[in-house]
Amino acid sequence: MKRYSLLFALLSCFAISASAQPVIAADGVLSAASYLPTAFPGGGIAQGSLFLVFGTNLGPAAIVQASKYPLPTTLGLGGTTIQISAGGTTTPAIMVYALAGQVAAILPSSVPVGNATLTLTFNGQTSAAVPIKVVKSSFATFTLNQGGTGPGILTDASSPTKNPDGSDQVNTLFTSAIPGDVMVLWGTGLGPVSDVANEAVKPLPGDLGFNPAVYVGGKSATIAYAGRSGCCSGLDQIVFTVPAGVSGCYVPVVVVVGGVTSTFPTMSVSTDRHTCSDPVGLPDALLSKYQSGQDVRVGSILLNRINPTLSAGGLSFGLKQDSAAASFYKFNSSSASGSLISQRSFSSLPSTGGCLVYFCRNALCTPANDPVSSSAYLDAGTSLAITNGSTSSNANQLLKETAKGQYSAALGGGIPLLPGFTPYYLEPGRTVTVSGMGGADVGGFGVGTTIPAELVWTNAASLTTVDRTKDLTVNWSGTSGNLVTINGSSTGAATPQVTATFECTALASAGTFTVPSYILQSMPASGTITQGGFTVPAGFILLSNFSAATPFTTTGLDVGALTTLDAGGKQATFQ
């Protein structure tokens, strides 16, 4: 679905013939900041919040924006009106903009909480009614990619550097905050205003008194203000101070209000208000190169061992698999969206000590962080060679995926004594080397590493059922790596299915990490799935150990790194 820049329209002060019947898309009424379907715990439309309607024949071919107060309600905008029916009454929505495929409006604060229906009328034609869930609060932060994920829209009130017009700068990888800075978080969904009669008439600034909690990199932040913006109806601001002890390029910023956890934008925190750094991120020098308008070329190789324990029919068995993957790509500095600014780069991991949650509308959920979404893949040759120093199994190739600078190989594993099993390849202590002859964009190279000892998950046996209202502590030992990630995934029982996956990072040396309950409460309660005739929980926990990266250099790359990953997992029920 094409997304118009709602925040641009709002901050600009909201700078026809007969038509076919409007059709609202399935799951087509969403928060303007989160885009979360109703099936997720935070998927309701909050009283007084901005929301979007997606579909066809919803409005005029060219966008029409509300340009002044009072904002239109019953009179509509560009021929479009929206009606909300709840509690026996019908209330017109407050219109913001309208066009054929997408309409933005504000849900009046007077609409009662609970189940409701929405209809849209364009040029006298009315859509079928669709159900929506009205809630008191469900906050979400606007993000730079306008999709509800990745770096959030936060401005730094403490930074001495301002925009040419005197306004505060937006937080990016190149304009980081420092601990102690006062930040303004921009979003929607804090909750209703009390002056419902004037909600469409004028902006209603003022703290709403809902006392949200803000967590930055897992640490509680002090809040100075949480209420409507002085510029625009439906647009919320939360003013908070960056707590001490957090740093990184992708520090999660989480808001909890009324017991509902927000979406999971990130911010950049450093020691000097300039470029940031992460253990698995790009070096400062390359971020500076990108900022100066030059492309950055990256090569990433991952040697991956995954060793989940599966249970079915009263039996438990391990399914150890070894694989390798490599990617070569260019962050394009001329890209309109700026992949290093509006997207996640080089790694899907949140900054150390933080947790992110990813939301998917199906039963398979992985971090949606393609680092080359606005860049180009690089050709490093037709294949890459991999050896492990073993005389019994010494030759494999990473084959190029179709028309991309991505390479992969299944190296070995399975269930011993069963068909399809092949000898394990990434055994601890072995020296594994990956090499390439080079291609059109990347020169020849070779890089090797010794596979470290496997991670030991010391409390795995006790984590069969996860109470989402309580913190979840995970313990480990025996790591010789750099970072540990803790992942959990849960697919709900409702149809259509939705899945949420959390991902947290910790230093391997810590030996323990506690996933806060406000993270777990963002996930749906686990349903069940059927595998081989057995019914098992549709939930999983994964504990992974990342080694420190081994660098490599060659022509055509600014940076190359080889990393090993050792992951253990088990099924679990989130309830």
What's the pLDDT tens digit per position in 229-238? 999 999 999 9
Element (H, E) at 289: helix 284-291
The pLDDT score that the predictor gives to residue 337 is 43
Would you state the structure tokens that stand for residue 474, as one six-digit string?
Answer: 């995970």
Q: Which pLDDT does position 455 carry in this prediction?
A: 85
- The answer to whether the CB of 64 falls within 8 A of the CB of 98 is yes
Res 454: pLDDT:
86
Taking residues 190-194, report their average pLDDT: 97
Q: What is the mean pLDDT of residues 286-290?
A: 82
Q: Give the tokens for residue 476.
A: 């480990």
pLDDT for res 13: 38
What is the mean pLDDT of the segment spanning 276-282?
79
**Which of these, 437, 451, 454, lies nearest to 389 by C-alpha position?**
451
Angle at 297 between CA 293 and CA 300, to 5 degrees: 145
Mean pLDDT, residues 355-380 taken together: 69
Specify the pLDDT at position 3.
47
pLDDT at 533: 65
Instruction: Tell me the three state secondary structure of residue 15.
Output: coil
- Cβ atoms 97, 66 nearer than 8 A: yes
* Bigger pLDDT: 119 vs 87: 119
Q: What is the mean pLDDT of the chain?
A: 88
Q: 411 or 7: which carries more pLDDT confidence?
A: 411
Q: Which one is predicted more confidently, 332 or 546?
A: 546
Instruction: Round to whole Å and give the CA distance between 332 and 337.
Output: 10
Whether 375 has a pLDDT exceeding 60, the answer reads no
Query: What is the model's pLDDT at position 335?
Result: 58
Residue with the bigger pLDDT between 371 and 506: it is 506
Length of the chain: 575
Cβ-based neighbour number of residue 158 at 10 Å: 14
Only one residue has tokens 């509690």, namely 87
Q: HSE, CB side, 13 Å, CA atoms: give it for residue 71.
A: 29
Query: Under the phi-then-psi rule, with left for phi > 0, alpha for psi from -120 to 50, and beta for the rest, what region is 465?
Result: beta
Mean pLDDT of 40-49: 93
Are the beta carbons of 106 and 56 closer than 8 angstroms? no
Q: What is the mean pLDDT of residues 176-205?
A: 97
Going by pLDDT thresholds of 50, 70 and 90, the confidence category of residue 371 is: very low
CA distances (Å), origin 573, targets 427, 472, 475, 502, 513:
31, 13, 19, 14, 19
Which stretch of 23-27, 336-340, 439-443, 466-470 has the lowest confidence by average pLDDT? 336-340
Q: How many CB atoms lie within 10 A of CB 431?
A: 12
Peptide bond into 151 cis (omega under 30): no
Binning pLDDT at 50, 70 and 90, where does residue 341 land? Answer: low
Q: Which residue has the higher pLDDT, 551 or 145?
A: 551
Q: What is the pTM of this model?
A: 0.88
User: Which has more confidence, 538 or 183?
Assistant: 183
Tell me what pLDDT residue 12 has. 42
Q: Order of strands across the sheet with 102-106? A: 23-31, 50-56, 102-106, 94-99, 64-65
Whether the predicted pLDDT of 342 surpasses 80? no
43 pLDDT exceeds 70? yes
| CA nearest to 562, candidates 279, 324, 376 | 324
Residue 479: the pLDDT is 66
Q: Which residues contact 155 (CB under 8 A, 6 or more apart)?
A: 167, 168, 169, 170, 171, 183, 184, 186
Give the chain's domains with CATH numbers.
6-136 (2.60.40.10), 141-269 (2.60.40), 284-574 (no CATH)
Condensed to tens digits (0 to 9), the pLDDT of residues 427-471 reads 999 999 999 999 999 999 999 999 998 889 999 999 999 999 999
Residues 6+ away with beta carbon under 8 Å from 418: none
Return the pLDDT at 391: 54
Q: Running DSSP on this structure, what letter comes out for residue 11?
A: H
Whether the pLDDT of residue 199 is over 90: the answer is yes
SS3 of the chain: helix, strand, coil, percent, to 5: 5, 45, 50
Averaged pLDDT, 237-260: 95
